[in-house]
Chains A and B, each alone.
Chain A
Amino acid sequence: RKEVEQDPGPFNVPEGATVAFNCTYSNSASQSFFWYRQDCRKEPKLLMSVYSSGNEDGRFTAQLNRASQYISLLIRDSKLSDSATYLCAVSYNKLVFGAGTILRVKS
């Protein structure tokens, strides 16, 4: 089983749609959780950290479920510019990335 697993997608959604991604992790000792965004052939950029209480940043909401060992990312009112690959990352003694979920927002 992979340490961090994501649905690769692609998720094809119209502008304005709400879309959610999940990410599961296998190491129950994981301490920190992040969502990164990666555009084609570019480096990952931090989107947001994920806290136990859940956190929101504009149109983006991240949640953590330690009991079920998954994190989620919700994007509301999708924009064309949201099209990218979304990577979840989980940290215990090192940062481990999922393979990413592709999002395509279309007009």
Chain B
Amino acid sequence: GAVVSQHPSRVICKSGTSVKIECRSLDFQATTMFWYRQFPKKSLMLMATSNEGSKATYEQGVEKDKFLINHASLTLSTLTVTSAHPEDSSFYICSARVVSGQESSQPQHFGDGTRLSIL
């Protein structure tokens, strides 16, 4: 099945640090990847849709200058949390979808997630 790898799995750093998270599709090409954030006991919230070769599409209320997304190749998208603060502490998860037929009918496959803790 489709495999999505996310790195790192855990980050603990000081306030003001910028943190970069990588999301790779290992055995398929993904023109579109998705970045979610999940707070404890809450649902996954879509932050942005990462499009290969073009700008990401951000959801309402998500600061694009705060959460920089780069999708430079068909297998790699990165999310950089710039000048992170304690309120940015969360579980960040990427996903990708195998492009085949009607895109919305294809399930998304998730990376392992990155647990970010800002002190």
A43: B residues at CB distance < 8 A: 6, 93, 110-113
Is the beta-carbon distance between B43 and A87 smaller than 8 angstroms? Answer: yes
B108: A residues at CB distance < 8 A: 46, 89, 95
Contacts A/B (CB < 8 Å), 30 sampled: A4-B43, A32-B105, A32-B106, A34-B107, A41-B91, A41-B115, A42-B113, A43-B6, A43-B110, A43-B112, A44-B110, A46-B107, A46-B108, A49-B105, A49-B107, A89-B108, A91-B104, A91-B105, A92-B104, A94-B46, A94-B49, A95-B34, A95-B46, A95-B95, A95-B108, A96-B46, A98-B43, A99-B41, A99-B43, A100-B43
- How many residues belonging to B are interface residues under a CB distance threshold of 8 Å? 23
- Nearest neighbor of B91 in chain A, beta-carbon distance: A41
Interface contacts (Cβ under 8 Å), in number, total 49
A41 vs B113: C-alpha distance when bound (angstroms): 9
- How many residues belonging to A are interface residues under a CB distance threshold of 8 Å? 23
User: Chain A residues in contact with chain B, CB under 8 A?
Assistant: 4, 31-32, 34, 41-46, 49, 87, 89, 91-100
B102: A residues at CB distance < 8 A: 31
Given contacts A43-B112, A44-B110, A46-B109, contact A93 B104 (CB under 8 A): yes
A93: B residues at CB distance < 8 A: 104
- Nearest neighbor of B2 in chain A, beta-carbon distance: A46
